[in-house]
Amino acid sequence: MKYVICVPDGCADLPVPELDGRTPMEVARTPVLDALASRGEVGRAAVIPEGMPPGSDVGNMAIMGFDPSKYHTGRAPIEVAAMGRTLRPDQTAFRCNLVVVRDGVMVDYAGANPTNEEAEAVIAALQSEVATSFEGVEFLAGVGFRNAMIAPQS
């Protein structure tokens, strides 16, 4: 028997006044999801180990059968691997999100949603102007505001 696990990660939302207090998911037309749900089994699972952050990286790792409390080292190493890079034992990966800061306050955690091209330009500038001052530091362009940095362990 073959299985498909559909994890609607990130589709939860808050009610929107313009949608009469409903969420985008409540008003969305979802014929494919509806068809899958009618033919399969729908359920919920609590997969986040106690004391761990309830993020998609931890949840998806657990769903795939890996114990996050044993294997999870953070989101950055997973994303760097998804970028096709392999970390050496003497390297550490960091998320490098582009954000908007005004008057010392972060006002947008998603960096005003830059396109991949805009983000690549910022990451290239960081590589050129910052990374060259620190041996072994490398900035990697990801998708939109989600990027990464690899640095040597000290």
Task: Give per-residue pLDDT as tens, 102-129.
Answer: 999 999 999 999 999 999 999 999 999 9
138 φ/ψ sector (left φ>0, alpha ψ -120 to 50, else beta): beta
Give the domain extent around 112: 84-154
Q: How confident is the model at residue 85 (pLDDT cuts 50, 70, 90)?
A: very high
Residue 7 lies in a domain: no
Residue 142 lies in a domain: yes
Residue 120 lies in a domain: yes
Query: Which has more pLDDT, 109 or 44?
Result: 109
50: tokens are 């106690």
Residue 76 lies in a domain: no
Which residue in the block uniquely carries the two structure tokens 């949608």? 19
Residue 115 lies in a domain: yes
pLDDT at 1: 66
